[in-house]
Amino acid sequence: MTSKQRQERLFKQLEVDRPAVYTRTGYPEDDPSYDKMKRYMEEFTDLRGMFWCGKPRFLVPVEEHNELIDADTVRRTLVLRAPAGDLTSTVLVKPKMRTSYHETYYIKNRGDALKYLSLPVPAAEPDVGKFHETERALGDRGVVFVNCGTVPGGIIAELCGSETLALMSLTDRDVLHAICERELQIYIKTLDIMFKHNIGPYFSLQGEEYFTPPLHGRADFQDFVSRYNKSIIDKIHDAGGFAHIHCHGPIGDLLDEFVALGPDMLHPVEPPPMGDVTAARAKAAFQGKICIEGNIQIAHMYEHAPEDVAEETKRLIRDAFYDNRGLVVGPTASPYIFGRGEAAFPQYKAMVETVLNYK
């Protein structure tokens, strides 16, 4: 069975010869310590390509200003010129640590949300040729995922930040839903363009994790995720496509919500301590309707011995692949520690070899 056939059948909840094995590819930039790992993964794992649909978030200028705060920190100020008034966000960048994080967000109150709603609506303009080029390059080695951007609930979280979002979900829920409705229509129009150009059938969704516990409860997940994602996933299914959701966090109280939502694959289904769901529990809850992708904790690739990762992989296969379907083995996130690629490689290799030697 080829890697492409294996992944196609996993999305369809059909039996396969072995679990697929894959790692997300957000490697640290300009880090040669991961070169050996990249070559190995390219040769031995079930590959995925990624096609970004080309939808711009904003159709107005975004001005950028940088200010040196101290020897290690730069404040990057982004100014979005919306028709109803400027929106400002700041990011603290630490070049030596190769990291950055938001200090403030575009939306800080109701007035900012109304400014955002004055923005013109973007439309996708995909370079169709790139999708088909990626498909041809992968051949039988894998499939191409289509990324249409963050889902509506995820967008309001990224615009507000967790604290403002929590407060506005109590005081200004109506305007948050107005933004979600706007983003849903953009997402649906983007999908229509994808279908028109025969781009698909595998679609990648992200942003749901902003509404999982402990930041938000079940009611908010239903109101800001399920309410909008169901339309997106139903449209993908109606077109003969498949939906993949990337959602970190403790989702134990939301397993039935995900089943009702209807994605075909869910990543990373995290066990404790980062999540609260074992593979065995998720397998039982999904009842052959959702393929599990995961769930080797990414920290284990840096902190555990190769034989421990191999044993964890065997347990995962035992708990989630007893029916020969429904499992993609992989870490819960991309390799992420700069300069540690050589140290992590034996653990990644142990995971991959355990899957390839499955009988």
Q: Where are the beta strands (DSSP E) in 53-176?
A: 62-70, 73-82, 85-94, 99-104, 142-150
User: Looking at residue 56, what is its pLDDT?
Assistant: 63
Where helices occur in 12-160 by DSSP H, the ranges are: 35-44, 110-117, 128-138, 152-160
Mean pLDDT value of segment 277-282 = 96
Q: What is the pLDDT of residues 27-70, one digit of tens each?
A: 999 999 999 999 999 999 999 999 998 666 666 778 999 999 99
Q: What is the mean pLDDT of the chain?
A: 95
User: Looking at residue 59, what is its pLDDT?
Assistant: 64
Of 121, 151, 168, the residue that ends a domain is 121
Rounded distance between C-alpha atoms, residue 265 and residue 145, angstroms: 12
Shared domain for 89 and 41, answered yes or no, is no
Residue 128 predicted with pLDDT over 90:
no
Rounded distance between C-alpha atoms, residue 221 and residue 224, angstroms: 5
Range of the domain at 328: 3-57+128-356
User: Looking at residue 233, what is its pLDDT?
Assistant: 98
Residue 199 predicted with pLDDT over 80:
yes
Rounded distance between C-alpha atoms, residue 343 and residue 63, angstroms: 40
Shared domain for 276 and 289, answered yes or no, is yes
Shared domain for 151 and 284, answered yes or no, is yes
- Whether this model's pTM surpasses 0.85: yes
Residue 126 predicted with pLDDT over 90:
no
Instruction: Decide: 334 and 24 in contact? Cβ < 8 Å.
Output: yes
Shared domain for 231 and 337, answered yes or no, is yes
Shared domain for 96 and 207, answered yes or no, is no
Shared domain for 25 and 70, answered yes or no, is no
Shared domain for 50 and 169, answered yes or no, is yes
* The two three-digit tokens of residue 196, written as one number: 């028109």
Shared domain for 233 and 203, answered yes or no, is yes
Shared domain for 159 and 308, answered yes or no, is yes
Measured N-to-C along each axis, helices 152-160 and 227-238 cross at an angle, to the nearest 10 degrees, of 140
CATH for 307: 3.20.20.210
Shared domain for 84 and 219, answered yes or no, is no
Q: What is the pLDDT of residues 58-110, one digit of tens each?
A: 667 789 999 999 999 999 999 999 999 999 999 999 988 788 999 999 999 99
Helix (H) or strand (E) holding 195: helix 173-196
Of 84, 105, 121, the residue that ends a domain is 121
Mean pLDDT value of segment 287-291 = 96
- For residue 81, the cross-strand partners are 86
Instruction: Decide: 175 and 113 in contact? Cβ < 8 Å.
Output: yes
Percent of the chain past pLDDT 90, that is, above it, reads 89
User: Looking at residue 53, what is its pLDDT?
Assistant: 82
Of 121, 142, 160, the residue that ends a domain is 121
Mean pLDDT value of segment 185-209 = 94
User: Looking at residue 97, what is its pLDDT?
Assistant: 79
Say how many residues make up the chain: 359
Number of compact structural domains in the chain: 2
Mean pLDDT value of segment 198-216 = 95
Q: What is the pLDDT of residues 210-260, one digit of tens each?
A: 999 998 999 999 999 999 999 999 999 999 999 999 999 999 999 999 999
Q: Is 89 exposed, middle or buried (0-12, 13-18, 19+ CB in 10 A)?
A: buried
Shared domain for 116 and 261, answered yes or no, is no
- For residue 68, the cross-strand partners are 74
Residue type, 261: L
Shared domain for 109 and 251, answered yes or no, is no
